Amino acid sequence: MSNQNISVTLSSTRRQKPEDDKLVFGKVFTDHMFVMDYSGDKGWHDPRIIPNQPLQIDPSAMVFHYGQTVFEGLKAYYSNGKILLFRPERNFQRMNQSNDRLVIPQIDEELVLKGLKELIKVDREWLPKSEGTSLYIRPFIIATEASLGVHPASQYKFIIIMCPVGSYYKEGIHPVKIAVESKYVRTVAGGTGTAKTAGNYAASLKAQEVAEESGYSQVLWLDGVEKKYIEEVGSMNIFFKINGVVVTPALNGSILEGVTRNSIIHLLKHWNMPVEERKVSIEEVYQAYKDGVLEEVFGTGTAAVISPVGDLFWNGEKMIVNGGETGELSMKLYNTLTAIQVGKEPDPFGWVVEVEQEEK
């Protein structure tokens, strides 16, 4: 299947590109998109690059009613005339894991990576070049079968759209304020938490809104059963540095396994730093805080890479982490990972993938 030909239809008009310092996340998209269709008789077929344009979909399409859909998020970086991707194969592997959970047919990971590289080449002018900027890539799949019956759809579209994004930390890294959520849950083990699917995000909006009303930027999710163990922060994975040891919740069937999370664990092990994947309760974190050994807290994800937590609100108490400042380890991880991503530091794990200019 990976030797399916990807056809290219170029757009006759070109959109206005925003300047690097005026980039707003997810608002302006590049001139082209990658599309591929699925039908029961043909499987995935007709991979193509076409002008970015509105879709024509029947209002009864299953995605609108039952949310059968998955997505991914990754970035391309400009580096001295080259274009680099960071561990893109993991995103497409994860998409297939999400597909499995949502009963969406498996995609050919090699073919879509090839399609992505072609798309980036076609829209290469859109790659912002200033420090900290990147091209955000959003692959997604929607169930397009026109039917209100509840069953896995027989028709789908796989699409990749891209948008230039500015530096996440224009004014330097600043720790965020987080409220521990004890009423709402994001998901439960056995649910769809391990899949990157729209419903998880829809389920998170209410808690996010309540937190924002109280001046917090995100919520810390606890497990959906006992509301005792920490799962994630907003839509990021979370790490704690307690008394010199880095701890992150073990993958338990409801946490989404981030590519950034996995990379951070590799880096820490490479540096011979103690790192543990295990259950972490909110009580343990609070006790560490009381004992003066809660040294750092940070979220990890593609958008921010590292997002330090300076203020953690739980049970009427405010835990101020590291004096509300970015910790030394958070900073070192951020600097190292972003430097590897843009090819400024050696890549000991072979994570960076170059989008070849003369491929075909």
Ligand X SMILES: *Cc1c(COP(=O)(O)O)cnc(C)c1O
Contact residues for ligand X, defined by CB under 6 A: 73, 196, 232, 235-237, 256, 258-261, 300-302
What is the closest distance, in whole angstroms, from the C-beta atom of residue 245 to ligand X in the complex? 22
- Spatial contact of 36 and 142, defined as CB atoms under 8 Å apart: no
What is the closest distance, in whole angstroms, from the C-beta atom of residue 259 to ligand X in the complex? 4
- Closer CB to ligand X, residue 23 or residue 337? 337
- Closer CB to ligand X, residue 235 or residue 330? 235
What is the closest distance, in whole angstroms, from the C-beta atom of residue 306 to ligand X in the complex? 11
Structure tokens, 343: 């090819």
Neighbour count for residue 359 (Cβ, 10 Å): 10
Who's near 59: CB < 8 A, 6+ residues apart? none
Q: Which residue is nearest to ligand X (CB)?
A: 258
Tokens 């073990």 belong to: 250
Longest CA–CA span in the chain (Å) reads 64
- Closer CB to ligand X, residue 181 or residue 232? 232
What is the closest distance, in whole angstroms, from the C-beta atom of residue 233 to ligand X in the complex? 9
- Closer CB to ligand X, residue 48 or residue 196? 196
Q: How far apart are CA 273 and CA 268, in angstroms?
A: 5
What is the closest distance, in whole angstroms, from the C-beta atom of residue 154 to ligand X in the complex? 27
- Closer CB to ligand X, residue 25 or residue 317? 25
The CA-atom distances, in angstroms, between 132 and each of 23, 169, 173, 184, 232 are 11, 8, 12, 34, 25
Write out the DSSP string of 42-89: TEEEEEEEEE-------TTBHHHHH--EEE--EEEEEETTEEEEESHH
- Closer CB to ligand X, residue 282 or residue 303? 303
- Closer CB to ligand X, residue 32 or residue 196? 196
- Closer CB to ligand X, residue 156 or residue 239? 239
* Alpha-helix runs per DSSP H in 271-360: 282-290, 328-341
> Do the strands 176-181 and 352-354 form a parallel or antiparallel pair, or are they unpaired?
unpaired
Sign of CA dihedral 348, 352, 353, 355: negative
What is the closest distance, in whole angstroms, from the C-beta atom of residue 261 to ligand X in the complex? 6
As a whole number of Å, the CA-based R_g of the chain is 21
- Name the E strands within the chain: 7-8, 32-39, 43-51, 69-71, 74-79, 82-86, 134-143, 155-165, 176-181, 218-222, 230-233, 237-242, 245-249, 275-278, 294-301, 305-314, 317-320, 352-354
What is the closest distance, in whole angstroms, from the C-beta atom of residue 292 to ligand X in the complex? 29
